[in-house]
Amino acid sequence: MLLLRVFSRQSYSGAWNSPTPELKTLLACFEFSQTENKLTASLFRVTNFSEELEVATALLQCSESSPEKRFGVCVDSLDCAEAGLELDERKKGETGIDCVDRRHIDVTGTRAQFEQLMKLTLGRIIAGNNCLRLYSAYGIAGQLAVFSSLRLGIEDEARNRCRICLGKSSEHFVVSTISSQIEISGHLHNSAIMEVVGRRSLMENSPTNETESVIPIPEKWWQKIWNRIARKIKRRT
């Protein structure tokens, strides 16, 4: 299971690629809260890039920031276990966006245990694993538009924050909603300026896909009917 930590400082991302990374800089990516001798980092369970982008965008809208690129590092839950860290899924996230908040995980341990996690994660990067992430301003702006259009699965305050963030979008790109589709317009510079348009479907991100009610069907009902028919045929023969 992959756990994502998102941060805004590009220098933190660069530290992971340094020939000799500073351990204190790698630890700074996690912005720990501290209780007695225990440290806790707030991470999110992810399975694909779409979920990662949701996390990065949900965290950005909490501060009502303009859509700007974000960075991230993924750690493996197996490495957390090897380092002796505890994973606690009981506390939901506080972004106001349900599809993100329910994937929140608190990772708790001592400084030495987190240092061991940094060593294990850096080892994965050295071995060629893709643990580092970049989320573009374009992608975050598009996800803000998706969140702001949701009717379910988002708190009113969070939806309003998403719209405030979109209102602070850079002049270099434009986000518009057309029917069930979002368009993000940017520009490519050469001898002339060329417009580039990215499109996203709103339907793909609808929370109703996950909460749609289904009429329960008795388990293996067809087997019961087939067995009855088979028994009748057997009696006749």
pLDDT digits (tens, 9 = 90+) for 32-87: 987 778 999 999 999 999 999 999 999 999 999 999 999 999 999 999 999 999 99
Q: Are strands 132-135 and 70-76 parallel, antiparallel or unpaired?
A: antiparallel
Closest CA relative to residue 49, chosen from 106, 96, 15, 2? 2
pLDDT of residue 221: 45
| Non-local CB neighbours of 145 within 8 Å, separated by 6+ positions | 162, 166, 175, 177, 182, 184, 200
pLDDT digits (tens, 9 = 90+) for 115-125: 999 999 999 99
pLDDT digits (tens, 9 = 90+) for 161-215: 999 999 988 766 777 777 778 888 888 888 788 888 888 887 655 443 333 333 3
pLDDT of residue 224: 52
| Non-local CB neighbours of 46 within 8 Å, separated by 6+ positions | 2, 3, 4, 52, 55, 74, 103
C-beta of residue 135 within 8 angstroms of C-beta of residue 56: yes
Boundaries of every domain in the chain? 2-137
